[in-house]
């Protein structure tokens, strides 16, 4: 067997047999920290399967040779180099045929999943007879292809519905949601969920057990067969409420391919709306892949190969309002100890209560884990935590005098190596830093509301900010599992500077007699996650007005906005604003017609503001601007970002 293994000339896989003649096949992609299914990896896997078919083992166990995870999916960079739909079809055919061979092997097969198992990695695992997931936080399984504008073409659309039922499978494929090990066991995605210490023994026992493969109930089997139209129609209705086929053809293709082509994307004729050729021609896939690489760029900004680099353990947050309290809770969930300061314990209590509720949901009723998390969130009305903190974040109301007094006190008590940060959204960092003896210590760390939902955090460099402190702030944001965006200190930084003109134009439309619901429908048709009027109501009309004044230096707000704020109608938080709000939802009239040109009128100020921010150096380049606006505002991802959109379509006149 040794000679035959050597003859395979494997660069990425390692194959060995144990005493029970089980073949252990380990993937360890050469010159990469992550396992991906590149063409070279697939070609080698085919050679391994050929060898195992000729010299059969008692069983085959596929696992990872890396600590970073199982398999991250296909090689995205390689995918971007494919010239057209026919080239994609060749790649899909190769993997479809290979995974079908693995599914039909005459000996039992098992995927031992530890860490991320995404896309093609999960499709490979689905081709195995058994699956074991290791119960660790890093273990996540998903078919996220629609997030890149494509479909799971290597067998996922065929096998996943047969394994966990069509409704659950379509939900995974249409949302790209990640499933952890425990959830995977409960829904039947994996056969066992085991701790790391027993994973190999568990894999050995299961693969030789002769245990029957998981089978669906009779009803789920019918829903996969004669009744599949019921599931497909329900899924299509769900998708239609969130994405248009014009901008996002992939989710519709998933439903159609499963319903009408047996989950086999190769059976879809070229030119059909669900085909590779059609999907790629629309341009969304290329733009979503661009968004993926923009996200990777932001992540890379905070990474470091030096283990001695900034590793904060204690964070002190000042201001227990919505933002401050939620920042504190998020830091706790990322494993840090947080002291939360406000004027009194009574002011801090609501933030502690919100955190307790969030921890309970996060840990799904695991009271012990939730309690341990809550123990790391310390009410600190006197601000004693300042002395021990690695990072100090100011999140009080936007008043320059109050911030000056606070930072003078902080500087007198904080450790000399502590990172000092402000969460200001509208004040200039240079003005705040005037209160410090060492203004170079201050940076901006600007979170967005709601903190738990928004992936982007702007890291603001003032004129005096030490670049080393800015880099420490970027590293800190990365450790919070957020996307750090470096920006220069300027009114509104990037995100608010771009959102301001967009919201103002929407309010002007309402002043002209266009209904708020119509304005929001026009933005939603473009793919914005929330209409601008609903967004203003959600943020708070008082906050929107104050931010507008800070950005423009003018009191000239739209008359209706002034009237609403004067009447105490501040939006969602007061129950009324541009909309009436009931149980947290805006009551909207149905929109039957959207005036021609309204959508382009709304987005034009946003596009122009983006160009202006780049011109004055708020961000270093157009790609960072696109990344910031997509992840900070939800700007329609199908466009690839405002600058990319203008490069393709031009700025509307």
pLDDT tens string 391-433: 999 999 989 999 999 999 999 999 999 999 999 987 889 999 9
Helices (H) and strands (E) in the chain, counts: 28, 20
Q: Is residue 527 classed as helix, strand or coil in its secondary structure? A: coil
**Residue of 585, 131, 137 lying closest to 364 (CA atoms):** 137
DSSP one-letter code for 382: T
DSSP one-letter code for 37: B
Q: Cα separation of 366 and 368, whole Å?
A: 6
**Which residue ranges does the chain devote to CATH 3.90.226.10?**
2-281
Which pLDDT does position 1 carry in this prediction? 43
Tell me the pLDDT of the chain averaged across its residues: 93
**Is 3.60.10.10 the CATH number for 2-281?**
no
Q: Is the model's pLDDT at 127 over the cut of 50? A: yes
The structure tokens listed for 357 are: 């509720």
Range scoring the smallest mean pLDDT among 236-245, 327-336, 457-466, 538-547: 538-547
Which whole number is the average pLDDT over 483-503? 94
Q: Is the model's pLDDT at 3 over the cut of 60? A: no
CA distances from 177 to 18, 145, 168, 290 (A): 36, 11, 11, 20
Query: Model pTM?
Result: 0.90
The structure tokens listed for 44 are: 């080698």
**Which residue ranges does the chain devote to CATH 3.40.50.720?**
314-491
Quote the percentage of the chain above a pLDDT of 70. 97
The structure tokens listed for 430 are: 């240079």
The CATH number that domain 496-618 falls under is: 1.10.1040.50
DSSP one-letter code for 153: T
In sequence order, what are the residues at sequence separation of 6 or more whose Cβ sits closer than 8 angstroms to the Cβ of residue 310? 390, 419, 472, 475, 476
Residues 287, 423, 425, 636: which is the catalytic one?
425
- Sheet order of strands, 140-142 included: 69-71, 116-118, 140-142, 179-180
Q: What is the 3-state secondary structure (H, E, C) of 356-381?
A: HHHHHHHCCCCHHHHHHHHHCEEECC
- Over residues 551-591, the pLDDT tens digits come to 665 667 899 999 999 999 999 999 999 999 999 899 999 99
Q: Cα separation of 604 and 387, whole Å?
A: 48
Phi, psi of 130 (to 5 degrees): -130, 160
Which pLDDT does position 242 carry in this prediction? 86
Q: CB of 338 within 8 A of CB of 345?
A: no
Q: Cα separation of 433 and 439, whole Å?
A: 5
Top-level class of domain 314-491: alpha beta
Which whole number is the average pLDDT over 325-346? 96
Q: Cα separation of 369 and 366, whole Å?
A: 6
- Over residues 187-231, the pLDDT tens digits come to 999 999 999 999 999 999 999 999 988 888 999 999 999 999 999
Query: Catalytic annotation on 458?
Result: yes
Q: Is the model's pLDDT at 186 over the cut of 50? A: yes
Query: Catalytic annotation on 446?
Result: yes
Residues 475, 496, 636, 644: which is the catalytic one?
496
Q: Is the model's pLDDT at 362 over the cut of 50? A: yes
Which pLDDT does position 2 carry in this prediction? 43
Q: CB of 95 within 8 A of CB of 156?
A: no
Q: Is residue 286 classed as helix, strand or coil in its secondary structure? A: helix
- Over residues 588-615, the pLDDT tens digits come to 999 999 999 999 999 999 999 999 999 9
Strands 130-134 and 109-113: parallel
Q: Cα separation of 329 and 322, whole Å?
A: 11
Which pLDDT does position 68 carry in this prediction? 79
Which pLDDT does position 426 carry in this prediction? 79
Residues 63, 116, 314, 446: which is the catalytic one?
446
Which whole number is the average pLDDT over 159-184? 96
Residues 458, 465, 478, 636: which is the catalytic one?
458
DSSP one-letter code for 155: T
- Over residues 274-331, the pLDDT tens digits come to 998 899 888 999 999 999 999 999 999 988 656 457 889 999 999 999 999 999 999 9
End-to-end Cα distance, the chain: 70
Which whole number is the average pLDDT over 23-41? 94
**Which residue ranges does the chain devote to CATH 1.10.1040.50?**
496-618
Which whole number is the average pLDDT over 113-127? 97
């Amino acid at each position: 067997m040794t000679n035959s293994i050597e003859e395979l000339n494997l660069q990425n896989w390692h194959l060995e047999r144990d005493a029970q003649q089980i073949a252990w096949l380990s993937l360890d992609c050469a010159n990469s920290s992550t396992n991906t299914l590149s063409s070279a990896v697939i070609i080698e896997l085919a050679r391994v399967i050929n060898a195992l078919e000729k010299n059969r083992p008692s069983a085959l166990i596929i696992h990872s040779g890396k600590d970073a995870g199982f398999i991250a999916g296909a090689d995205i960079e390689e995918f971007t180099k494919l010239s057209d739909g026919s080239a994609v079809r060749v790649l899909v055919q190769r993997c479809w045929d290979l995974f079908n061979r693995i599914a039909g092997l005459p000996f039992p097969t098992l995927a031992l999943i530890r860490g991320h198992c995404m896309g093609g990695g999960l499709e490979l695992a689905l081709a195995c007879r058994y699956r074991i997931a290791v119960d660790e936080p890093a273990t996540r399984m998903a078919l996220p292809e629609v997030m890149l504008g494509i479909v799971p073409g290597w067998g996922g659309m065929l096998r996943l519905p047969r394994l966990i039922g069509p409704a659950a499978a379509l939900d995974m494929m249409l949302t790209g949601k990640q499933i952890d090990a425990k959830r995977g066991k409960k829904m039947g995605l994996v056969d066992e969920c085991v701790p790391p210490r027993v994973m190999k023994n568990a894999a050995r026992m299961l693969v030789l057990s002769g245990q029957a493969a998981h089978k669906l109930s009779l009803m789920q089997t019918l829903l996969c067969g004669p009744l599949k139209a019921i599931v497909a129609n329900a899924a299509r209705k769900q998708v239609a409420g969130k994405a248009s086929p014009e901008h996002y053809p992939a989710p519709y293709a998933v439903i159609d391919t499963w319903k009408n082509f047996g989950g086999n994307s190769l059976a879809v004729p070229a030119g059909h709306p669900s085909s590779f050729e059609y999907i790629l021609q629309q341009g969304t896939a290329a733009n979503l892949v661009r968004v993926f690489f923009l996200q990777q760029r932001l992540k890379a900004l905070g990474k470091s190969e030096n283990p001695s680099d900034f590793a904060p353990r204690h964070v002190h947050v000042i201001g227990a309002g919505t933002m401050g309290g939620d920042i504190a809770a998020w830091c706790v969930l990322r494993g840090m100890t947080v002291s939360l300061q406000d004027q009194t314990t009574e002011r801090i209590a609501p933030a502690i209560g919100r955190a307790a509720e969030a921890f309970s949901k996060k840990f799904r009723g695991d009271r012990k884990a939730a309690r341990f998390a809550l123990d790391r969130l310390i009410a600190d009305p006197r601000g004693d935590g300042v002395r021990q903190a690695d990072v100090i974040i100011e999140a009080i109301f936007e008043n320059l005098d109050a911030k000056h007094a606070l930072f003078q006190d902080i500087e007198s008590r904080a450790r000399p190596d502590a990172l000092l940060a402000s969460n200001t959204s509208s004040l200039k960092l240079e003005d705040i830093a005037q209160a410090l003896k060492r203004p170079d210590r201050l940076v901006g760390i600007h979170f967005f509301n709601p903190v738990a939902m928004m992936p982007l955090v702007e890291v603001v460099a003032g004129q005096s900010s030490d670049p080393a402190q800015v880099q420490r702030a970027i590293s800190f944001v990365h450790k919070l599992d957020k996307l750090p965006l470096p920006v220069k200190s300027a009114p509104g930084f990037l995100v608010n500077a771009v959102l301001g003109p967009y919201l103002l134009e929407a309010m002007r439309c309402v002043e002209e007699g266009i209904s708020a619901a119509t304005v929001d429908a026009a933005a939603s048709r473009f793919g914005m996650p929330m209409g601008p009027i609903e967004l203003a109501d959600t943020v708070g009309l008082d906050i929107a007005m104050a931010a507008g004044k800070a950005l423009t230096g003018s009191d000239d707000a739209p008359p209706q906005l002034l009237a609403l704020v004067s009447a105490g109608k501040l939006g969602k938080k007061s129950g009324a604003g541009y909309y009436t709000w009931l149980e947290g939802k805006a009551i909207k009239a149905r929109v039957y017609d959207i005036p021609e040109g309204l959508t382009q009128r709304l987005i034009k100020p946003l596009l122009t503001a983006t160009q202006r921010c780049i011109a004055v150096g708020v961000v270093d380049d157009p790609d960072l601007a696109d990344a910031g606006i997509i992840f900070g505002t939800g700007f329609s991802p199908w466009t690839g970002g405002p600058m990319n959109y203008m490069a393709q379509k031009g700025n509307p006149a």
